[in-house]
Structure formats: structure tokens, C-alpha cells
Amino acid sequence: MGVSHLLEHMVFKGTERRSAHEIALSLEALGGSLDAYTSREHTVYQGRVLDEHLLEAADVIGDIVFHPTLRETDLALERKVILEEIGMVEDTPDDLVFELHNEQMWGPHPYGYSILGTRGTVQALGVPELRSLHARAYHPGQLVVAATGNVEHEQLLDVLSRTGWLDAVPGDTTALALEPPRPESPSTRHVEREGAQTHIVAGTVAVPHGDPERFPLLLLSMLLGGGMSSRLFQRVREELGLAYSVYTYQSFHADAGMHGVYVATAPETAGAALDAIRRELQTVVENGLPADEIAMGRQQLKGQITLSLESVSSRGYAPPRIAIGTPHENPVTLTRQDWRGPRAAWTPEAIGHWEVAVAEAATYEVKARITPRKDSARITWGLNGATLAADAPAAVEEVVLGRTRVAKGDGRVTAEVASGGTTTGVWSVEIRRV
């Protein structure tokens, strides 16, 4: 717990070519900036410079990403910095309450872990753990590079080539085997501590990032608690005067999501504020939202998205979010089921067809699976229109269809399956860039 965040700190302590001080100066001396952050599913390194300094930015980011020294002496010092950061969160109740809620909701699953780790895990982590994570995660197959501003795509590719990004050693892209998240049963957790306010988070599980239902959820969240005109702000703050800060939030991960409400209020009015929030949510559950309010929300959301495009930073974050969070990326898994009977079954006349739009010209490996497979049918597989040999009857649950090169401008990978008899199970096709 906390190893990704610790590694993020450690890469700034020095590389084969630069000291920690030289890294700090590298972009600041040019009037730019260099920083990083770690979230639950990815780490980001970002530089902001004048367009004439694109090469310098790519060089220093590539240096810290691919060539950190990761020395024990630096780790001993950086542990102290992380422990201070943990202490800062513990002294900030409006940060701590989200950590506690996350832990309470996801239990032992990594989604419930603190990004910073605990005092115990940070003290226990050593250089071998950092090197292991670096070897597994910091290589081209695990990276998304994005640039925005006065820069052309071909120019960026040339700069990345000149600064060694394309020479980095490939690594393993096998996804970590994790149990799917299982939210804990609904519960309440109360932590007593000195303070003028009570901080409350009430939340529950939501859809993952790749689920299209996240878009209406974003709209609903904005109408409930996304601004001064939202229902919760108007009711809890403006009409009842129970809080200064009240808003909704959501987080979308690869396998699950969460959404909820935060409110900060005086201890003596905490119960009244929570009751008011519950009543407002219940009203929406029972009555829905009127058409004019939904139309207003759409316009508000559209305006926010459009205005955000004026920010170079907002534009820069969009491509990595799409590439990391969308299930049509590395890897893509698509599932087909025939629900016409009590079992998910493919009949002899049925044929499955998967077609995926891919982001770039590359080589893609395609696997097909059926689990659990309970049949004696012969299965015919196809890849990009070419029929492959049928597999043997019975228990073959996975077959590698092969690799296919997608040229620039094609942008599609297709896979097909036909059954020579009734085949029971859930079909899926995985498409992974290699």
C-alpha cells in the first residue's frame, strides 16, 4: 500500500544523468513547471513549458520515468516526507473523511487503500519493491503520452524519438490478477475529534469508467450538487442555512465507481443537514427530474465542457483519461450472450461478431474465450475476415486467434465466431495492443 505514490516521489530524487537539484531546475529555469500526482489507478508526470522548449520537457520527463536511480539513501529521506504528507491529511478533516469513507466502502480491496499508504507500509517499503514496480509499470506498453498546445503530432513523435522514448525497453503488459471489488454492506463510521465542524460523506457504488451510464450519472450529480443552482446547495445552504459547503462527487475506476454527497456543518446541525440531504435524494428517486431541469443541466454541462477546452491543461488530460479508462483500449474485452433461454447459449445458426475501433496504427493480439464451456461443438474462429482453423471439440476455453497489424487510417479490429452445435457459456474476445 502506497508504493506507487512513493515511487512517484523517488523518481525526482535523481537519474543516471541528473541530480535531484538538476531535475528541479530543468524546467523551472525555463519558466515552466514539472510535477506529478498519483491516483488510484495511474500516476501522471506533467511538464508545462513554452512551445520552444518541448524537447527539453520530453527529455527530462523521459529521464525520470525511464532512468531513476532509486537509491536507499534517498529513500530514507523521502519516507520522512511521505510521513509528513500522511500527517497533513490526518490533520485535514475534509480530506480524512474521504479516506475513511473509501476504506469503509471497499474494505480490503485495493480501491479502499490509501494512495499515500499508512505509516507502517511506508516504513516497510524498500528499494526492491520500488524497482519491481518500476520494471512492471514504467515501460512503453504501460504508458500514454499526450501533448497539447502549439504542437503537431508528427513533431511530438520526432521529439520523443530524439529523446529516447522509443528506445525504452519493452516490458510485461499482463494485467494484475485482482479480485473484483465487492462493496461492504451499508454501514456508518463515526470518528470523534476536536473541531468546529462535522464532516460527512455519504456514498455508494456506481458504474465503472467504461459504462455509458456514467454520462447520465454526471448530469444527475451536477443537478443535485454541482454548483450554486443545484438542489442540495439551494436546499441545505440557501434555504436552511445548515452548511457552507455541500456538493456531490463521483469517481470512476476500471472495475467500479462510486458517487456520493459531502457536507460540512456544525456538530449540532449535522443530523438536520443529513436529513435534508436524504429527503432531497428521496424526492428525486420518487418523482424524477422535470424535463426543463434536465434540459438546463445539459446546457450547463455542455457549457462547462466547451469552456474547459480553452485550458491547455484540460485538453492535455482528456486523451490519457480516454485511453486509460475506456474499455476499448489496451486490452479490450467484449462479451456476447444469447439470453433467449435459461442459459447463455450459442445455437448452430448463431454467429458472434466483435468489431472494435482502435486509437492508432499498431499490432494487436486477439484472444477468444468461452467460460464455462459445456459442449462438444466445433467452433470456427475468424480474424479480420480470414477464417481460422476450427478448434477441437469439448473443453478448449481459450484460443489465441493471432496478431493483426492495423495500418494508419484503418482503425478497426474484427473477430468472428460460429458454432457447429449448441454451445453453452459466455463468449468474450480480448483485443490487446502489443
Residue 243's nearest CA partner among 207, 273, 277, 218 is 273
Residue 325's nearest CA partner among 176, 207, 405, 216 is 207
> 8, 56, 99, 430: which one is catalytic?
8
Round to whole Å and give the CA distance between 404 and 432.
Answer: 10
Q: Residue 78 catalytic?
A: no
State the maximum Cα–Cα separation within the chain, in Å, rounded to a whole number.
72
Expressed in angstroms, the distance from the first to the final Cα of the chain is 29
Q: At 411, give phi and psi (nearest 5°).
A: 70, 20
Residue 337's nearest CA partner among 397, 399, 416, 425 is 425
Cβ partners under 8 Å of residue 352, min gap 6: 336, 346, 416, 417, 418, 427
Q: At 207, give phi and psi (nearest 5°).
A: -75, 155
- Cα angle, residue 182 at apex, residues 181 and 185 outer, rounded to 5°: 150
Its sign, for the CA torsion 263, 268, 269, 270, is: positive
Cβ partners under 8 Å of residue 42, min gap 6: 320, 324
Round to whole Å and give the CA distance between 199 and 245.
Answer: 10
Active site residues: 8
